[in-house]
Amino acid sequence: MKYSYRPIICSVFAVLLVVLCISGCLGDNGDTEQNGIEGSHESVLRIAQTFGPSHSLDPASDWVGWYVRQAGIYETLFSYDENMELVPELATGYEAIDEVTWEVRLRDDVKFHDGTPMDADAVVYSIERVMNPDNRRSSQYRFIEDVYAVDNYTVHIVTQKAYAPTIASLTDPIVSIVNPNVDNLAGNPSGTGPFIYSSFNPDIRLEVKKNENYWGDLARVDRVVIEYVSDPLTRALKIEGRDVHIADSIPPSEVARLDARPHLKMVNEETMRTAFMYVNTNKEPLDDVRVRQAISHAINREQVVNAALEGFGGSPAIGMFPSNFMWSANDEIEPYHHDTDKALELLSEAGIEDTTGDGRLEYNGEPFTIDIKTYSARPELRPAAEVMAIQLKSIGIESKAVTLESGALSADMNNGNYDLALYAWGIAPTGDPDYFLTQHFESGNTYAEWTGYSNPDVDEWLSIARTDPDENVRMEYYNKVQKQVHEDCPQLFVFYYKKTVGLADEVDGFVLYPNEITVLTNNIGI
């Protein structure tokens, strides 16, 4: 890795220039930078991330919690390890006291970054601020009736009715435990993590330093500089040029080349992220399930993965959940195999046929046209949409891919101004299936409104699954939901993400977590 220095005096002696150049470059280990104290150095880890905070550093603001947890500043009561196993973090354990009361026991050796002890009052404060109706995501925590401190290190959470995902919901970074004594968490974050906030340049850079009073093992690096680089090729160039030690989401087109470089290594793992298309069932003829099923049969998912993701950036989807997720019902679901004859048969049954012999399908006397909209923030979505548009055209559907900025696409979705829309979602950020299933398929919820989907059976099954404490019962009903949604096709599932992270050879201790919430940990060394 190289750092650039500005000359201080034009008449610097040649020998001094040599010393400065040497001190400005990575040494043999690539991990030290002079810190201004004679004879001492600090280790500086540099990371290029894809997404970052644009204004606030408050974890309770929208999705900012992801970014500040990824930076090692904040922690939650519970979290998921690299195997997606639920583990205590700031808690030591929990117990269901009765059908609606959960007891959470806290660690008694944790301090916030300013030295204030982390206790039950801080936990209550952190949860209540998310429950506040002014918080844009408060609806996700409306199941909580009350939260209160029993003693300094015990908290009770009372739900409005039985709610099985309660503990899982506490892993979401939006309920990161914050210091209640700090007024401006948006600009002065104060958490319990292994790293302490140093500085922030919105959308560009976040710097943190080692927390010398961390309750766990101390971080192995002294300082971390996180750059937010949205362009994937730029991230690839940064890791290749030794400008960073870790580069997030290397584009598939660059992986083989970078992997051949002796100073680099590529880590490729499955994630809990699915690419799928919302279907606007409020529009004819997409309100006909036969048409939606036909489109699903017309899509060659294997070809999408090979063409748009170079064959290893993902794998063809069956249902909504990847098969490595414990709640997946994929082994009970019959995939929509690529079958153009079946697609044309279903379309014909729905009154969509080539009546003029020109190779184009018509509906009500007009060419059958479908646009696939997607957004630019995830660059692999555009080529995936383009491949699918070509596949639809091959069976006579006029189709094109349209790429918009995220805000513009969201506006179109809210206004019902779309046919198909390709998105990528982390389907299990809290490790529980209810999060994704309820938001997308329960009547009246935001993303069910986008598609216009409503099925009374699905609503009933979701209600049973989220209230029954028996995991086997929950599995049974969530499987019913997955199979029914698969049949109804309000969403078409395309591929499951595999993420590739580029590492400098000297990096060790890095783990790619499937839910993508944890990135910077105290275990990473250089």
Spacing of C-alpha 388 from chain mean position = 23
| Residue 470 DSSP symbol | -
Q: For residues 468-484, b (16+ Cβ closer than 10 Å) or e, as one string?
A: eeeeeebeebbbbbbee
Summarised one tens digit per residue, pLDDT across range 137-175 is 999 999 999 999 999 999 999 999 999 999 999 999 999
* Contact of 434 with 172, CB cutoff 8 Å: no
Cα separation of 77 and 65, whole Å? 14
Token pair, residue 347, equals 């379309």
Q: What is the pLDDT of residue 41?
A: 85
CA dihedral 311, 312, 316, 317 (to 10 degrees): -160
**Dist. CA 461–CA 473, nearest whole Å:** 10
- The answer to whether 59 and 174 are in contact (CB under 8 A) is yes
Tell me the C-alpha to C-alpha distance, in Å, between residue 502 and each of 47, 82, 205, 304, 518: 10, 18, 19, 24, 16
CA 285 to each of CA 290, 350, 391, 396: distance values in angstroms, whole numbers, following the listed order: 9, 8, 19, 15
Which two tokens mark 520?
């910077």
Q: How many CB atoms lie within 10 A of CB 44?
A: 21
Residue pair 276/423 in contact (Cβ under 8 Å)? The answer is yes
Closest among 502, 499, 448 to 82, alpha carbons compared = 499
Q: Does the structure show a pLDDT above 80 at 30? A: no
In a 10 Å sphere around its CB, with 0-12 CB exposed, 13-18 middle and 19+ buried, how is residue 354 labelled?
middle
Distance of CA 304 to the CA centre of its chain: 21
List helix spans (H) across 260-300.
289-298
Residue with the bigger pLDDT between 39 and 88: it is 88
pLDDT at 377: 87
Give 396-426 pLDDT, tens digit per residue.
999 999 999 999 999 999 999 999 999 999 9
Topology (CATH level 3) of domain 271-497? Dipeptide-binding Protein; domain 3 (3.10.105)
Residues 6+ apart with CB under 8 A from 472: none
Angle at 508 between CA 505 and CA 512, to 5 degrees: 105
Question: For residue range 45-85, what is the model confidence (pLDDT) as tens digits?
Answer: 999 999 999 999 999 999 999 999 999 999 999 999 999 99
Residues 6+ apart with CB under 8 A from 463: none
Q: What angle do CA 514, 520, 524 make, to 5 degrees?
A: 105
512 pLDDT more than 80? yes
Rounded to an integer, the average pLDDT of 497-516 is: 96
* Letter string b/e over residues 376-414, b meaning 16 or more CB atoms within 10 A of that residue's CB: eebbbbbbbbbbbbebbbebbbebebbbbeeeebeebbe
- pLDDT band for position 40 (cuts 50, 70, 90): low
Contact 254, 379 (CB under 8 A): no
Q: Which residue has the tokens 């555009």?
A: 382
CATH for 44-219 is 3.40.190.10
**What residue spans define the domains of the chain?**
44-219, 271-497
The residues near 7 (Cβ < 8 Å, ≥ 6 apart) are none
Residue 393, classed as helix, strand or coil, is helix
Does residue 451 surpass a pLDDT of 60? yes
Cα 520-522-523 angle, rounded to 5 deg: 95
Cβ proximity of 503 and 510 under 8 Å: yes
Do 438 and 462 contact (CB within 8 A), yes or no? yes
Does position 33 have pLDDT exceeding 60, yes or no?
A: no
DSSP 23-80: HTB--TTS-EEE-SSTT-EEEEEEEEES---SS---TTSTTHHHHHHHTTS---SEEE
Q: What is the mean pLDDT of residues 499-521?
A: 96
- What's the whole-number mean pLDDT along residues 464-486? 97
CA proximity to 66, closest of 54, 53, 77, 79:
53
DSSP 413-430: HHTT--SEEEEEEES-TT
Q: Which residues contact 363 (CB under 8 A, 6 or more apart)?
A: 284, 285, 351, 352
What tens digit of pLDDT does each residue of 422-443 get? Answer: 999 999 989 999 989 999 999 9
DSSP label at 8? S
Question: Mean pLDDT over residues 476-499, rounded?
Answer: 98
Distance in angstroms (rounded) separating the CA atoms of residues 59 and 497 = 25
Look up residue 473 and give its amino acid: V
**355 burial class (0-12, 13-18, 19+ CB within 10 angstroms)?**
exposed
Distance, CA of 487 to chain centre: 26
Instruction: Look at residue 99 and tell me whether its pLDDT is greater than 50.
Output: yes
What's the pLDDT at 24? 39
| Average pLDDT of the residues of the chain | 92
Confidence grade of residue 19 (pLDDT, cut at 50, 70, 90): very low
pLDDT at 45: 98
- Supply the pLDDT for residue 26: 44
Report pLDDT digits (tens) over 193-231: 999 999 999 999 999 999 999 999 999 999 999 999 999
